[in-house]
Structures are given as structure tokens and as C-alpha cells.
DNA sequence: GGTCATGATGATACACTATATCATGGTGGC
DNA sequence: GCCACCATGATATAGTGTATCATCATGACC
């Protein structure tokens, strides 16, 4: 998980290994193209922060990012990283997981209808056992939320859906081990 | 809002008025009965915190609660209120709104199938204009989330759904005023 | 060229949110 | 009495997020 729902499991509870380098580079290239097309400035700083988020391969906190950012940018301070994160969220390049106060790269594959489309509907599955997270994009959930809100005359801007539970990997391990 | 979806609007952006005293008292009585039946100890401290949450009539932060709690309990400290809040959440008497780092009394009416049933499915609508919040309990949303998770072999424990947007009241005000 | 508005970053300080840890005291079983 | 269990008191610290002002680059405009 932590990459996409059908991926093999690799979350924060286990390997801590990052994306393969090529994945990150490709994502950065796509991000740059998206921002260019949109007139948004993916500056060097913002690109560095995005790279760090992607390289972590798991939800990462703002201050952990700050520590790493200081490796390449001494004097970086909390606002440095928070401003970059705000930009990246506005562009849909990363998401914040509220329950974890942490940030992850958007796992949406290009060509699934929306390519980093502004705020795309998404949900997070968070495993309480291994800490892995999976971003999913279930239209049924998005539709149900939109419907419930509309029935109350509520105009939806953004939706946060975060499910805590046990991932398939851990569940099968449980079933085997007892 | 802030009470139930069909209520007249009264959120943090406007009146700041609390529930009517009777509502709070009735809720406290129901909470006491629920805890008693369940073998959970709704102590004086926990009851005080619950009362403060209910009286605020809107999402309220832990430290705002702490300030008020000190009126009746000098020497109260952060752990005092956080421990009470943890208990109240476990009992389903209050909910935390993650996006706001704030707490609200559960608006679920008694007799809607689950009476403070342990973790009941719920969603929050948060108005970005006036700050009001509404707790809703849409079965369609809960079902869609459960289905999406089940298709991935994910076992759901708790679900957080928080929708940010414009409430019906503010939307109609916008339509009128331009 | 000079002026100005805009937006990004630097830099400092601060506010807000939450938990760890150990001590104290009450309640009830045995 | 003794002990296990739980709730609370009390202190300290960790973690997360903003406010504010200064500086600098860019590009529009005259
Ligand atoms: Zn995404
Ligand atoms: Zn897992
Ligand atoms: Zn509720
Ligand atoms: Zn509103």
C-alpha cells in the first residue's frame, strides 16, 4: 500500500523504503508539466519538498520534512515547509491525512480521467496495525457524500474520508497466525 | 446546524449561543443512563467536561474547554481534559472533528436505531463561511465506504468523513446578496 | 529607466495541540 | 490488611501550525 490500493504492501510499519528513484523522477516531471500548464510556479523549493514527500513513500510529518529539507537548505524554518505544503496541496500533488497530521504524495495514476485534477475525490485507508496507508478513489463514496450534502443544501468544496482499520495484508497475517 | 441537519442555523460564526439548558440536561441524563447500562464510569469530572462541550453548542478546542473547566476545577491541566475527552469519545458521547482539532457533542437523536451505539457512522458538514457544523448520519455514505474498503480486503474500525463547503444558510445568503 | 504591484522566500517569534511520566487517592475483591 | 485497578493530580515536554515583518525577484506600466 501507500502507493496504490492494488500494490504490494509496504507501509510505514515495515520497510520504510522509498519509491524507486525512477518513480519519483517521473512523478516530479508530471508535476512540473501540470503546474506549467496551469500557470502555477513549481519552484525549486516546492520541488524539493515534493521530492522529499515522494521519497518518503509513506505519510510524513511537516517537521520530519523540515529536518530533511535542511540537508539541502540550511536555515529552513517551519513556514518554509508549510508554505510549500500548502502550495502542493492546492495543486493536488500531495494530500494531508488529518488523522496522522502527515502528508503523502497523490497516488492518482495519470490518465484515470483526472490528472492531478484540482481537488480530486479520494479516500485513505489507514492500517492501525502496520501503519500503511492506501489512497483510493472510489466514485461510489464520492457520489454518496455529494448526494448527502446536496440533500441538505450544502455546497461541497473538499471532502476528507479517512478509514482506520486493518489492511488486507495484516488481516491475512492475523488469520494465519491466530 | 451544529445540532442536527434540519435545525435552524446557529454556528460558531454567529450567535455563539449554547443549547438551551434543558437540552444539555437531557443529554447529560441520557449519557449517564447509557454509561450506567454499559458499566462505564461517567464521573463528575467527565460529566463536567461533557457539559462544557454540550453547552458550547459548537466545535470547541481542548484548551478552550480547559479554560472553562478551570472555573469549576482549579488546577486542571491538559491531561485532565484530554483524558476526559478520550473517555467521552470512546463512549460515543462526543466526536472529534479532525480538520478543526475540536470536539462536539454527538447529535444523534436517541431512538434512531443506535442510542450512542459504540462507534456509530457519522459525517460532518463544516461551513467554511460561518464555521457552523452539522453532524449527519447518512447510511449511503457509510455503506459506500464499507463496500470500497471490503473490496480491498480492508477491515474497517472507524471512519472519518468531514465535508468542507458552504451550508444551506450561507449559500442562500450568497444567492440573495450576490 | 523608474515606479509599482505581485508573489516567493527568509527569518524570528509565538500560539496551539497533545502526550509522557510519576505521584496520589479511592474502591472493591480476596 | 493487602493488592489490583482505575481515576485523578501535577509537572514537564513533545509535536503541530501561524503571525508578522523583511527581503528579493519578476514583470507590468508609464
Ligand atoms: Zn490523490
Ligand atoms: Zn497493515
Ligand atoms: Zn454522533
Ligand atoms: Zn454557513
User: DSSP state, A98?
Assistant: G
Chains A, B: CB contacts within 8 A come to: 127
pLDDT over 70 (residue A118): no
Q: What per-residue confidence (pLDDT) applies to B112?
A: 62
> Residue B68 CA to nucleotide C27 C1', Å?
29
The nucleotide whose C1' lies nearest the CA of B48 is D8
CA of B134 to the centre of ligand 4 (A): 10
- Residue A1 inside a domain? The answer is no
**Number of domains comprising chain B:** 1
CATH code of A71's domain: 1.10.10.10
**Long-range contact list for B120-123, CB < 8 A, 24+ apart?**
B120/B92, B121/B159, B122/B95, B122/B161, B123/A145, B123/A148, B123/B161, B123/B162, B123/B163
- Residue A14 inside a domain? The answer is yes
pLDDT tens sequence across A130-155: 999 999 999 999 999 999 999 999 99
**Chain C nucleotides reached by a protein CB under 7 Å:** 7-14, 16-21
Is residue B35 part of an annotated ligand binding site?
A: no
- Using a CB-CB cut-off of 8 Å, the residues of chain B touching A101 are none
Measure CB to CB from residue A140 to each of B148, B157, B171 and give the nearest one.
Answer: B148
Residue nearest to nucleotide C9 (CA to C1'): A80
**Hey, what's the cell of B126?**
463544516
Residue A97 to residue B131: CA distance in whole angstroms:
21
Q: Which of B148, B168, B174 to mutate to test the interface with A (most CBs of A within 10 A)?
A: B148
CA of B2 to the centre of ligand 1 (A): 30
DSSP letters spanning B118-152: TT---EEEEETTT--EEEE--HHHHHHHHHHHHHT
Q: Is B29 helix (H, G, I), strand (E, B) or coil?
A: helix
- Residue A4 inside a domain? The answer is no
The secondary element (H helix, E strand) that includes residue A163 is strand A155-166
Q: What per-residue confidence (pLDDT) applies to B126?
A: 97
Residues B152, A136: C-beta atoms closer than 8 Å: yes
Nearest listed ligand to the Cα of residue A166: 2
The residue whose grid cell reads 486493518 is A166
> Residue B79 CA to nucleotide C23 C1', Å?
14
Confidence bin at B119 (pLDDT 50/70/90): confident
Across B22-49, average pLDDT:
94
pLDDT tens sequence across B90-110: 999 999 999 999 999 999 876
B97 touches strand C (CB under 7 A): no
Q: What per-residue confidence (pLDDT) applies to B3?
A: 44
> Residue A41 CA to nucleotide C3 C1', Å?
25
- Residue B80 inside a domain? The answer is yes
Residues B149, A125: C-beta atoms closer than 8 Å: yes
Nearest CA in chain A to B144: A141
pLDDT tens sequence across B40-73: 999 999 999 999 999 999 999 999 999 999 999 9
CB-based contact, B34 to chain A, within 8 Å:
no
Q: Is A74 helix (H, G, I), strand (E, B) or coil?
A: coil
Confidence bin at A14 (pLDDT 50/70/90): very low
pLDDT over 90 (residue A48): yes
- Residue B64 inside a domain? The answer is yes
The terminus-to-terminus CA distance of chain A in angstroms comes to 23
Range of the domain at A57: 9-109+118-177
CA of B108 to the centre of ligand 3 (A): 5
Amino acid at each position: 500500500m501507500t502507493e496504490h490500493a492494488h500494490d504490494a504492501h509496504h507501509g510505514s510499519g515495515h520497510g520504510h523504503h522509498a519509491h524507486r528513484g525512477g518513480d519519483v523522477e517521473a512523478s516530479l516531471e508530471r508535476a512540473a508539466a501540470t503546474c506549467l500548464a496551469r500557470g502555477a510556479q513549481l519552484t525549486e523549493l516546492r520541488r524539493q519538498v515534493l521530492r522529499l514527500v515522494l521519497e518518503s513513500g509513506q505519510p510524513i510529518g511537516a517537521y520530519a520534512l523540515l529536518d530533511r529539507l535542511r540537508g539541502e537548505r540550511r536555515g529552513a524554518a517551519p513556514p518554509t515547509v508549510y508554505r510549500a505544503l500548502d502550495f502542493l496541496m492546492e495543486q493536488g500533488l500531495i494530500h494531508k491525512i488529518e488523522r496522522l497530521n502527515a502528508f503523502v504524495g497523490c497516488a492518482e495514476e495519470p490518465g484515470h480521467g483526472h490528472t492531478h485534477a484540482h481537488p480530486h475525490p479520494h479516500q485513505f485507508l489507514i492500517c492501525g496495525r502496520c501503519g500503511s496507508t492506501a489512497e483510493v478513489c472510489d466514485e461510489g463514496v464520492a457520489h454518496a457524500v455529494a448526494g448527502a450534502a446536496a440533500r441538505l443544501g450544502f455546497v461541497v468544496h473538499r471532502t476528507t474520508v479517512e478509514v482506520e482499520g486493518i489492511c488486507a495484508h495484516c488481516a491475512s497475517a492475523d488469520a494465519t497466525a491466530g
